[in-house]
Structure formats: structure tokens, C-alpha cells
Amino acid sequence: MSSRVLSATSFTPLRPTTPNKSKLKPTMNSAKPFLFSSSSSSLEFGVRNGRVNCNAVRESSQGSIDRTVYQGSFGPWTIEPEDVREVLLYRFGLVTAASSFVIASSAAFLPNNFALKDIVDQNLNLFYVIGAGGLGLSLYLIHIYITELKRTLQAFWALGVVGSLATYLALAQPAGENLVRYVIENPTAVWFVGPIFAALTGLVFKEGLCYGKLEAGILTFIIPTLLLGHLTGLMDDGVKLTLLGSWMALFVIFAGRKFTQPIKDDIGDKSVFVFNSLREDEKLALIQKLEKQKLQSDS
């Protein structure tokens, strides 16, 4: 994540400035850039010299475009183009994971003599790989203040990828099955692929906790419930299909609704990430300076 450096010895609030408009409007020949607007900001896309440029911009009441300065816990920060790209890629990863999961899971609801079901069944491994890749991209770019939690989710994902590959090569392929079908027919294989879904559960839990998203909160319970029900054999097929269908619908809603959020929501308080990147002595000096400034402002 790109960020402004917060100095431990010099901490001066940033003032909003009006950047040169020509730098904010990338063009391709004479074509004008186009805007994707949200409730609090706009995304401006364009192409210059064969490269796609993307800027987060905000229109003031006078119609001019400037950067919004947000006051964080450890100082002011702004949204940089690199932040926008990271957030868009994070959301793209979620859409990819959700789309792949829904397409693959649709085979459970399609009639046996339906041609589309055969196409989906023949490409289940491909959908699984694409979905896992999308989830991995989102977990790489997710913004979580506690680094250890982020690394834990990434470790679960990596463990699940290794387990999935090992299950396919050692068990599914020799049996002439694709990975997904093998896990369906052999519930104990959930132990090997399960960590990927544990990582997904952690991601939706974070989203539900941070933004109060109902669909994310429900997914937090549906995902482990379905997997554990399949693993233990205590759940009949009717209940499994009901939970699977709910998972599909809520996953689509969850991924789609991410694009209704302002970009800054997925960034979080960027000053916290900058603070975490400082050395311990720099952190202490910055905290002392902020406390001194607070005492001065209160007096």
C-alpha cells in the first residue's frame, strides 16, 4: 500500500491541495476519461501510452477536483492511485471467487440430462483453481490492522492449496475423479481442502464485523456448518443443498455489494498501517508527540 510517511520527529497536518487537472485526466488519443462514481468519491480511468491509469478523485462544491484528506489515528492520509488499484483488485478477487464457486456449485442443482451440467462437471477442477486464485488475491491485498491475523488467513489459504493439490494427485486422479467430485464422495477429504474455506470464513467474518454486512455474517456460520455437516455425515442431502444454495446466493450478494462501498472503507485508517511499519523507537516518539499535541490542544 502506498502511503505518506509519518515522521516521528516532525508531524505536520497535511492541507488539501488542488492538483493539476491535467494529471488527473489520462487520455487515449483525444478520448475523454470516464468516471465510476460512488457515494463519496469517483474513480477516473484512462489510458496513456498503453497503460491503464486509475485515480480516486472527489468533486468539491465548486466543481473542482481535489484529494480528500482523512484524519487517521496517527495523522492525516489521502487515497493514492495505488490504493485504488489494490482495492479494486481485492474486490475483483472476491468476484472471481464467488463466480467460480457459484458456477461449480450449480452442478448440484442442474438435472442430470442437462448439457450444461456435463460442461460444468468436466471443468470443476478449473473452477476450483480459479476460485482459489481469486480468494488468494483478495487475502494478499486485504487490509487488516493486526498483521498476525492477516498472515494467519494467508497461511490457512496456502495450507488448503497444498492439501488440495496433494488430494488431487494422490487420491482423486488415481481414482479417475476430479477434486471436487472426490471430496463430495469422500467426506474425510474435507480435512485437506478445508483450510481454504477456513480462510474464506475468516475473510467474510472480518467484512461482517467491520462493515456490519448481514450476508457476510450469515456466511460466517453457513460455510463451516456445511463443511462440518458433510465431514461428519450428520447432515442429509436436503439440508446440504439448502445450505449450499444459501451460500451461493449470499456469496454473490456479498461480492457484488463490495462495489457499493466507498474506496476508503476497504483501505481503512491508512495511518495505522504506516505506524505499524515504523521502528519501535519511531513509534514511541510519534506517540509522545501526538500526546503532547493533544495536551496543547486541550489546554
The structural domains of the chain, with segments of one domain joined by +, span 17-67, 82-260
Average pLDDT over residues 110-133: 93
By CB atoms closer than 10 A (0-12, 13-18, 19+), residue 224 is: middle
* pLDDT value of position 149: 95
* pLDDT value of position 289: 84
The per-residue pLDDT of the chain, averaged, comes to: 81
> Which residue matches cell numbers 483453481?
129
Listed in sequence order, the DSSP H helices in the chain are 21-24, 81-105, 115-122, 124-141, 147-167, 179-185, 190-211, 214-232, 237-257, 263-267, 270-276, 280-298
**Cβ pair 56, 84 in contact under 8 A:** yes
- Banded pLDDT at 200 (limits 50, 70, 90): very high
pLDDT at 76 over 90: no
**Cβ pair 201, 208 in contact under 8 A:** no
**Cβ pair 253, 245 in contact under 8 A:** no
Question: Which amino acid does the sequence have at 275?
Answer: F
Q: How far apart are CA 172 and CA 168, in angstroms?
A: 5
Lowest mean pLDDT among 40-44, 57-61, 69-73: 57-61
Cα Dmax for the chain: 78
pLDDT in tens, 244-256: 999 999 999 999 9
* pLDDT value of position 52: 37
**Cβ pair 96, 83 in contact under 8 A:** no
* pLDDT value of position 248: 97
pLDDT at 21 over 80: no
Q: Going by C-beta distance under 8 Å and a sequence separation of 6 or more, which residues neighbour residue 112?
A: none
Task: Compute how many other C-beta atoms are within 10 angstroms of the C-beta atom of residue 94.
Answer: 25
* pLDDT value of position 183: 97
Q: Going by C-beta distance under 8 Å and a sequence separation of 6 or more, which residues neighbour residue 262?
A: 38, 39, 40, 41
Please name the helix (run of DSSP H) or strand (run of DSSP E) that holds residue 43, with its range, or none. strand 42-48
